[in-house]
Structure formats: C-alpha cells, structure tokens
Structure 1
Amino acid sequence: MKKVNLEMSQEQYEKLVETVFLGTWMVNSTQLELDEAFEDVRSLVLSKYKEAGLEDKITYEETFDVHDLAVEYENELLDKYVEEYDEFSFWDKLIEKLSEKKLIKEFGPLPDSLTEEMVAKRVQYEEEIEKELEERGLTNLNLKA
C-alpha cells in the first residue's frame, strides 16, 4: 500500500482535526454501527495531537486505545457548525417537501425526471413557500392527519 505524508502547520492540523471530526460525526451520527474506515482515519489524525500541541483539545484513553476530542472542544464544534447546518437544512428540506406536496396535488405522482412545466412550478412553489416562511415562520403551517 502506498503511503502519503502531509506536512502542515499547527493551524492546518487543527482544521484537519475539525474536518475529520465533523465528517466522521456526519457519517456515523445516523448509523447503528460505526463506519470503521472513517474511524480509522479519525484515529490516525487524532493520534498526532501531541505533535501539534493540542493536548488541551484532544485526549487519549490508554485503556481503550482511543483518541477523542475533549468534551468542551467537541461541543464547541457541534454548536458552531452542526447547529447552523441543522437549522439551514431544516428550512431547506421543509420548503422542498412542501413544494413537492403541492406538485403532487397538482400533477399526481411525480416521475423520476420532472417536465419543464413541473420544474417551473416547483421553483414557483419554493419561492412562495420560502417567502411565506420568512414572513410568518411556522405560524400558518397546518398539519392534517
């Protein structure tokens, strides 16, 4: 197997740690079992923490041979990136699903590939729904069982 060596600054290494943590979190957060390939990369990257002087942000549990982010650092990253991502993706997905519901109501079951008319309608619905949600939030949203 061919090896790859990277040389980076402490700041670059810290961004790599953040990137690997966030990527691994995204992949594994919805899974019952961890993706070991991602975990192996995560472990390799975190194992270099002493070389970068990040003892305050990364810990090593010798008993389990596990490197991990310090709880405060992990929470900081989750608050900084994941919360914002969740907020953005929630509204984006809500608009997408509500416009899809309107399309189905108008055109019936949707084909895999939308017609130009359907795409135009979808864009129109998304713009209308986005404007409504921006102006009124969820106050006018009605759920019917």
Structure 2
Amino acid sequence: MKIDITKQEYRLLLDLLEIAHWVLDAHSTWDKEETKPYTALIQKIYSHAKEMGCADIIVYDKKLAAYFPTREYEEDGEHRQFIEAFEEDSFWDELSHKLAFRDLIQQEGEVALERMDFMERATKLTEFLSWYEEEFSDNGLTNVRVVKERSNKVN
C-alpha cells in the first residue's frame, strides 16, 4: 500500500504521532516490549522528515541511530495543547470517579455494592460524582486534604 500525503498532512501526522507517543511512553522510564512495534513505525515515519520539509522538528541522532523530535517541538508544538487539555480533563475525571467510587463503597459496603442492581449503583455513584465534579469545578484542589498523619520522612 502506498499513501500519498502532502507536506502539510505529514506535519499533522507528526503531531498525531507525538500525541500517540505521549500516551504510550510519557510515564515510562524504560522501553516496554509491547510498544516496540509502535516505536518502529514512528521511526519509519520520522525517517521521511527531511524530504517532507520537517527537518527543523525531527532530527537524526547518529550515536543512537534513531530519529527524535526536537526539544522545542516536543515542548511547544501545536500538539501540546491537545495533550495538556487531555491530561487536565483526565486528572479531574479520574479524581472525581475514584473518590466517588471510594465514598460509595464506604457508604454501602463492598458486598452490598456487588449485589446492588446496575441502575441503583449507577444512580448512587452519579450522586457522589456530581458532588465531586461541582466541588472541583468551584474550588479546584483548595479543599482537598489527606487526613492521615504525615510521616517523619516527608518534609
């Protein structure tokens, strides 16, 4: 299969690859075996950067024998706005859901929750979820506290 894309489309593809790469590896400190096929494909696409007019944002490192986005592109490229918006939304969504689920378990108990019919469980969870979403929308993290006493190991 051959796909013809314009230089502008290639540039957009690089943004998509940066977003995908962020999802795959942003929180990893090592190469994961399961991401190697994706990394290989990214390298294959990066290898066309010069001919597609993107040598200013994708560079080849001879020592590592691999292509890399420049630091400026990684940190300030247009794709960053999508990553940052996704992370911001994910943070609040995950925090709300985890706390709502925790509170529902504390209120109902795990066994009762497992036996509860789906609609009742969803309704009760939604009540907690709505409360947290409103709280975080109004106050951010201002009212969030960890009630466990801090260890001497924490500054």
TM-score range, shorter chain: 0.7 to 0.9
Runs of 4+ with deviation above 4 angstroms: none
Using structure 1 for the length normalisation, give the TM-score. Answer: 0.86
Q: Distance in 1 between matches of 2:86 and 2:139?
A: 21
Q: 1:105 deviation in Å?
A: 1.3
Higher RCO, 1 vs 2 (CA within 8 Å, ≥6 residues apart): 2
1:21 and 1:42 in contact (8 A); partners too: no
Distance 2:54 2:84 in 1: 24
Question: 1:59 and 2:59 equivalent?
Answer: yes
Q: Deviations over 1:61-103 (max 9, x none)?
A: 2233211111101111474232222211111111001110111
Aligned mate of 1:117, from 107, 116, 120: 120
Is 1:57–1:69's contact at 8 Å kept on the other side of the alignment?
yes
Counterpart residue number, 1:136: 139
Length, aligned pairs only = 142
Aligned to 2:106: 105
Q: Does 1:40 align with 2:40?
A: yes
Does residue 6 of the first structure (1) align with residue 3 of the second (2)? yes
For normalisation by structure 2, the TM-score amounts to 0.81
Change (3 A) 1:82 1:114: farther
Q: Counterpart of 1:66 in structure 2: which amino acid?
A: A
**Are 1:27 and 2:24 matched, yes or no?**
yes
**C-alpha contact (below 8 Å) 1:103/1:122 kept by paired residues:** yes
Structure 2 unpaired stretches of 5+: 149-155
The two structures, once aligned, show a CA RMSD in angstroms of: 2.1
Fraction of identical pairs, as percent: 24
For 2:89 and 2:114, the matched residues in 1 are separated by 27
Gap regions ≥5 residues in structure 1: none
Task: Using the TM superposition, give the Cα deviation of residue 137 of structure 1 relative to its aligned residue in structure 2, in angstroms.
Answer: 2.1
1:52 partner amino acid: M
